Structures are given as C-alpha cells and as structure tokens.
Structure 1
Amino acid sequence: MRVLSDAFIPELPNHYKGKVRENYDLPDGRRIIIATDRLSAFDVILTAIPLKGELLTQTARYWFEETADICPNHVLDYPDPNVVVGTRLDILPVEIVVRDYLAGTTSTSVLTKYKNGERDMYGIRLPDGLRDNEKLPQAIITPTSKALDGGHDEPLTRDEILTRGLLSEEQWDTVSRYALALFARGKALAAKRGLILVDTKYEFGTNKDGTIILADEIHTPDSSRYWLAASYEERFKAGERPQSFDKDFIRAWVTARCDPYKDRIPKIPAELIEQTSRVYTQAFETITGKTFTADISGKTVLDRIRENLRPYF
C-alpha cells in the first residue's frame, strides 16, 4: 500500500511541519493543510498508516459540512483528497476537549487520575463511584494548554484560562458554547450510525476580524474516541474495553508494553498497522454512510498532491 509519510513541496511557501499535517501559508491569507499518514500518540510519531491522511481529511470534510450551521469553520476548498485549503487563523492557545464518558488509556488521562483518587479536575468535581468507561452525568469541557513541540498539554480550569489571559471571558463563553453544540450534533449523528462519540478535541482560531472559527479537524478518529454502541452495555457490565473505531486500540497496545512517556516505544508490527488502516476505513464508512474508494492516481500520493496543488505554486 502507498504511504504518505512526508509532504514537503518546495514550490509552496512558508512550510510548517506538524505532527500529522504539513502546512503552507500563502501570501493572500490562505493556508494549505496536507494530512499525511503519520500516526501521533503520546506526543510522538509512532508510525505511518496507509490511507490515514485521506480518510482523516474526508471524515473531517463530512463533519465540517454537517456542522456549518453551528459555527463557522476554516474550510475554503478541497483540491485533493488529502488536502484542505482554509483561512489562515490565529489559533487560540487552548484546546477544548469535550468528554461524555470516563475513558482514557494514558497515565495522564481522566480515567487514570480518577482511579488514583482524584475527583477535582479541570475545575470540575466528578462524583464518586464511577467505573471505567462509564457515562458521565453530563458532557464536560476539559481544556488544556497547547504544548510546544516536545512538551505535554497542561490541564487548565476556566479560572486559570481567564487569569492567565489565554482567552477573554467572551472568547471562553463562545468556544464553550460552540464545543458543546458541536459535540451534541456529533453525538446525535454518530448514534444514528450505531456509534458512541465518547470524547473529542476542538481547536479554534480567530480571523482578521476577531471572529472565532473552528480550525484543524473535527470528529475524526484522530481527534475523537468512538465506540460501537451495540456492544457497549455488555462490555461495560463485563468490565471489558468497549470496541473502538479510533486510534485508542493502538494506544492500548503500546501502554500494555511500556510507559510511553518514559520508556522506548516498541516498533509497531505490520499487522497492527494494517488493522489500524482498516479501522480508519471502517470509521469513515460507518460515520458517513459512504463507501471509501482510495484515490490511486499518480505515481505516488505526493506526486498526485503536487499535481493537484500546481495552481497554488
């Protein structure tokens, strides 16, 4: 299978390489965002998953279109299956995470902290007696700082965000309202497809007018947890992990073998990479109700992207 591990295109200006995406800022205020097949977890790149970039872009496209009535988003065009051209934004320094279940796989997750006895997190008091992967009384917002390269996201409370001047009170109120409304829409549409939207991360920015706009991606298997609804109750009662449609199972594979924040992470086996590609494909098809057909034009994925982006050179 063809894999896009790198998407450097020298003819495009102002290149910035993120963990998963390659960005190019055009002089006219647009940004070209190319989703590679790199898989990031635990603040490192674990491997590359065939078709992941295309599947992420097309899953996000579905959700951007389904939520455009809730809040404005950055999307301007899709010149290639792996590429979105959007409005360049000043990204707000807070990531907005919405959670509807007590879930997680890492040592820093809400679930791990809860099992270690913590109840006050992100300025929210969680009730006693919750079990692994249990539904929370209501969806909550658990904001974090945006870590610099190599750093870890820091949990924040509303008061800390306002006191540090990371967001104004008006900005906080707006992104909170948007995030909960987006999550409610995602939860409802996922339920119609037999999925549970467990939690997700939103990134917002402001345009030149100061308008808050949804950026990056939305409700993808990279930014969200999805569980299969049909088997959730049975697995929950048995104390088993819910069946997931995201990168959570690859996180679980890693954490079963090491502490990913302290130890050297073992090489991801080929069969797990293939399984992950199938999971991303199944997630796209289940979420959107569409059959996925990979775009195999071009000698390589990067060759195809270069050709489709030629008008931007």
Structure 2
Amino acid sequence: MSSSEPRTADRVARADRLAPVEVAEVLALARTAGDADGADPLDEHVLLRLRDPEAAAVHLVARATDNTLTGYAHVDTTDPANGIGVELVVHPAYRRRGTGRALARGVLVAASGPLRAWAHGDHPSAAALAVDLGFARARVLWQLRRPLTAALAEPALPEGVELRAFRPGEDDEAWLAVNNAAFAQHPEQGRWTLADLRVRLAEPWFDPAGFLLAVESATGRLLGFHWTKVHERPGSAPIGEVYVLGVDPGAHRGGLGRVLTAAGLAYLRDRRGLDRVMLYVDESNTPAVALYERLGFARWSAHVNYQLG
C-alpha cells in the first residue's frame, strides 16, 4: 500500500482479468516502484496470481490521460472469511496526485468483508493513508539479513537423521503435511495446497538441490526442511533467501531447526556462491527471531499488515 496527497487523481478502471500486455505493464510498474522504495510492492502470492490467467481477483488499474499506467491494486477475494487480501502500488513519478487514495477507495467499493492490506517497506505515506481510511496496524513482518562471508555454524545432524534434496513428484504430499503442521497457526503458510506447492516447483528459480530435507535414516520419515531461494535481478547482486524453514511438531529435538538453517546457509554460500541472505519472520514470533539473531541475522526492513473490519 502506498499513498499520495490529492491533486489530480488518475482515472481508475476495474477488471476481473488482465490481458497479457497489461500484466507486463503491472510487473514493470512493480519493479520500478521496488527499485525506488527498496522494497517490492507486490508479494510472491500476488505475482503468481498475476501470471495465472485463471486466478480469480479484482484488478484496479489507474492511468494518466496519456494512458500511462500510474497505479495498480490487487484484490484477492478467494478467502473472504479470513480477510480479502489487498496490495497496492503507485508509480514513483506519479505520486502525490491522489492516485493511491483513488485506488484505495476503489478497493473499498470492490470488496465486501474484512480487508487485509500489506504495506511493504512500512512507508510513512502508507501508514497515513491507512489511518485516514480506518485501517488498523495488525501485524508486522520483518525482513532480516546477514552476510554469508561471516563465519557459519557447522551443521551437526542429530543421531539417526540425514539430509537429502527434495524430489519433486515423490516428496510433495509428505512435505505438504509437515509444512502445514509446522505452520498450523500461520495465516498464510499453514494453508498451502498441492497446487500452491507445485506452481512454485514450476518457477524458474526453483532448484531441488537447495530444498533440503531432514529425514529419519531408518524409516525415511520427513522431520523438517529448509527450502532456499535465490533472487536474481538485473543490475543487482543476487541474494539468497531462507524461503521456508520448518520442523515437524513431533520432531523438535536436538536443535534440528538450527541445524537446518546452518545447512541451507552453507548451501547458498558454497554451492551458489552468494555473499548475503535474507529471510522473513513475524515480529511476534519471538523464538524464531531469537534463533535467527543468534545465527547472525539483523533487522533490515519491516512490512506491515493493516486490517479493516
């Protein structure tokens, strides 16, 4: 979510589907805003839905009089019981002219039910707009980073546990069961389906060698995992990510989470040649924050979820 002071608002149109050329425009707008703000305005879930022509959503598109795309809002109505998801971005060159406010008002018209809006980067303008529209600050997601050039802990697996790479098509259902159990209380990660998993396995960035599974040596039972990701962007040095890290609730023994973290970091450094890594963690998840801080991570930025209704 980003904001602007009213001047001359651009025209806002609503659509249930975007043409491929419009999707390309939105993606280019998001990259431009991300480069200017230091935080990508649309999260992975929205980007995947944008590229899926069958994904149901409400799209609000703002254009200047010369038809230049100046802003975009994505309204995800697929799970209204848990809140309608909203993400909004305004082109940096077209801010402070009422575009953000016009898009936000369009969202209020398009959606009926509780709203959840992410402000990536926690910009003051987004906070001001949220307050003006009656949204309450409800959740904070931190991005933590650390250099991979600093010393890493050596992963020492508990007795009877071994690491191996994820096998697409064979491990899908077992992984999904452990993931959803490990994140049962998480508002997004704990509700993944096989379709959610498989669309990510088909992404260009997916590398099974960087999807590490901890399994019981005697039975092959999945105990935990560390799924890494590498972000590559033209003009920027690549950065690794602790994409998803989880341990089966019945396997919290021997510091398996810490070992899996260390193993993934070593993979990103030694196998992918990276010198920095990031991750996302809820501010309220104090045990995880403490673990990552002990492993050398420090706060980089914040992403705020605002709710209405």
Give TM-score, length-normalised by structure 1.
Answer: 0.28
Q: If you compute each CA radius of gyration, which structure gives the higher value, 1 or 2?
A: 2
**More strand as a share of residues:** 2
